[in-house]
Amino acid sequence: MFIFFLLLALHRDSPRDRAVLVYPKFGRVFYTSHQHALQEAIAQRYDTRVHEQIATDDALFALDVDGAKLLVLSAHGDPFSMYFAGRNERSLDSTDRQRLETFFARLDPEATIVLQSCHTGRGFAHLVKEAAGPTRHVIAARGEIPRDGLTIDSLSPLDVTIQCDDDGKRWDCTLKL
């Protein structure tokens, strides 16, 4: 019986995996009750840090992601980039490849990176996967994500489904690399 209580105490005191969630400087769609519910669900399993109003690649790369098992990057996007500051100013694209490699190297080797951004699954997610390395996982959307389009299917291991809405038609647009 003593061993049971010892194991229970050790489990309760063991550190939880880290999650880092990043939200852009612009875009009300990222500051909704749905996003708040996602944050709460993730916080049930992870020691969660939420960074809001991130606008530049410099601000993103300065964040503490050391050892994180989950990184969620939320921003507007297209097939080639992500926009944290405004729709006319790319924050992350192929010119950031080297910095992305260094940034992702700070994550847990088995980390999951979620690009909560429209259309990044059509190209940019492949660059992120290459920069992240073979043991890290990347999840992105191949279409346009509505405000309630990301659903957590499992917290451990993390698995999500992304439902896109293109011209009023909802479909599973999840890309998993």
| Of 56 and 5, more confident | 56
119 or 10, greater pLDDT: 119
Confidence of residue 14 (pLDDT cuts 50, 70, 90): low
Q: DSSP for 119-166, please give it.
A: TGGGTHHHHHHHHH-TTSEEEEESSPPPTT-EEEEEETTEEEEEEEEE
Ranges 30-34, 54-58, 100-104, 159-163: which has the least confidence: 30-34
For the chain, the first-to-last Cα distance in angstroms comes to 44
Higher model confidence: residue 30 or residue 138?
138
Q: Which of 121, 117, 113, 120 is nearest to 158 (CA)?
A: 113
Domains of the chain: 17-176 (3.40.50)
49 in Cβ contact with 20 (< 8 Å): yes
User: Do residues 84 and 75 make contact, with C-beta atoms less than 8 angstroms apart?
Assistant: yes
State the burial class of residue 75 (Cβ atoms within 10 Å of its Cβ: 0-12, 13-18, 19+): buried
User: For residues 88, 91, 92 and 97, what is the CA-based torsion angle, rounded to 10 degrees?
Assistant: 120
Model pLDDT, residue 106: 98
Secondary structure of 15-63 in HEC code, one letter for each residue: CCCEEEEEEECCCHHHCCHHHHHHHHHHHHHCEEEEEEEECCHHHHHCC
Residue 90 is given by DSSP the state -
Tell me the pLDDT tens digit for each residue of 67-90: 999 999 999 999 999 999 987 889
